[in-house]
Structure 1
Amino acid sequence: MKLKKFKTKKIATATFGSRLKNIRRRRKFGLEFVEEKTRIHPKYLTAIEQSDFANLPTRTYTFGFVKKYLEFLGQNRGKINDFKKEYDGWYLRKEGMLSVQTKIKEPKIIITPKTLLAAGSVCSIALIAFYIWSQVHFLTSAPNIEIVSPEGKSIVEKDAVEIIGRVNQDANIFINEESVLAQKNGEFSQRVKLQEGLNNIEVVAQNRFKKTTIKNIQILKSRGEGNTKI
């Protein structure tokens, strides 16, 4: 009598994000409702649920969003360790792929004393030139502002929004002429109250040489249903 051969099947393990999505759906929470309660933009909620790490903001903000999302769903904050394993695994794979691609593209060079001397001279000149250029560029350039949330022109029903962004580390931040303290890495956040109708929020970055950059955010506070863009 011949024994039948059994085929083994790999069982797909649910990702951290998919488990959060299932919990949210069981509770019948829409992304707009979650955004209203957590102030996390729907695109970041979707990226977390789909394990789309490439479309998430910096590590600091990402882990803050995940902790807040866990609390909102009534989950133990210790579960963020599961997310950390997946996030770190993705980061290491990404860095590994970049390293392999770099090695493949490296040309073979025959190194001789003359080559080293020439390379050293070129590097020295290049470093000096780059230093001079960077100093001039630093003095003459206005600081750069990146607004993480909210995006562009939006329509909301909430009484306030949280402005989240990052700026050059040497710049001062003002939101509607009110000074905002930025972290050492340049990240900042500030809650801004909204009035009925169109709200114009001005974000200004100014460096010590009085060079300024201005970003304008328009948010319409409406009594209608749902959040969208103007």
Structure 2
Amino acid sequence: MDQFNQRAITDAATLGQKLKQVREQSHYSVVQVSEQLRIKPEYIEAIEQSRYTALPSGVFVKNYVQRYVKLLGLNWLTIQPLLEAELKVYQHTPDIPTQKRYLAKQPLQLMRVVIGLVILFAVIALAAYFGLEITNIVEPPRLEVVELPNQLAYADRIITLAGQTDPEAVVSINDQVIPVLPTGQFSQQMSLQSGSNLLKIEAKTKRSQPHIQYLQIYVEDQPN
């Protein structure tokens, strides 16, 4: 039973590992985080390694983690239950007995083992959900634009730019927001000018990086 619990905890992605992943993807160093939050670098490393006993006290743990989460632009209401679940696991884990005979003689200890396992499974489920949250934060939305010719006659300068994105994404053309249907489809009629026209198509959500594509279309001069 002891070996099973140790292996499950080791294989599961911890909150600290997730925070470290977001920090590295945001190009923050431990020193930079330490300077911005005014928290010792060793405390930042302790949080990322889930060594909560290395922090001054339980009050400091939640305060430090909450400030760290806000610096990374994450949702504290999503992170808080995961932190509390991990803290409970680390509180119960040292009490887990290793001898079956001892478990049989100590019903109270057996109950602690059951509670610890339930909390452990809850942590794993929350970690999986948190992983999906990070994916949504980091990855930009899908953006597919219908191909257009790169050169047009003056008479054909009025075009329709259409494409597909994620339903929750906001789409803009040259920083002008255009409507997006609930299906994620978008279509916008535009009048181009003579000469070279550079179109910047951008799709983004509130929590993601933008997905940007560029189209360059040349329109011939108006015939005399």
State TM-score, norm by structure 1.
0.38
Of Structure 1 and Structure 2, the greater helix share is in 2
Larger Rg: 2
State TM-score, norm by structure 2.
0.39
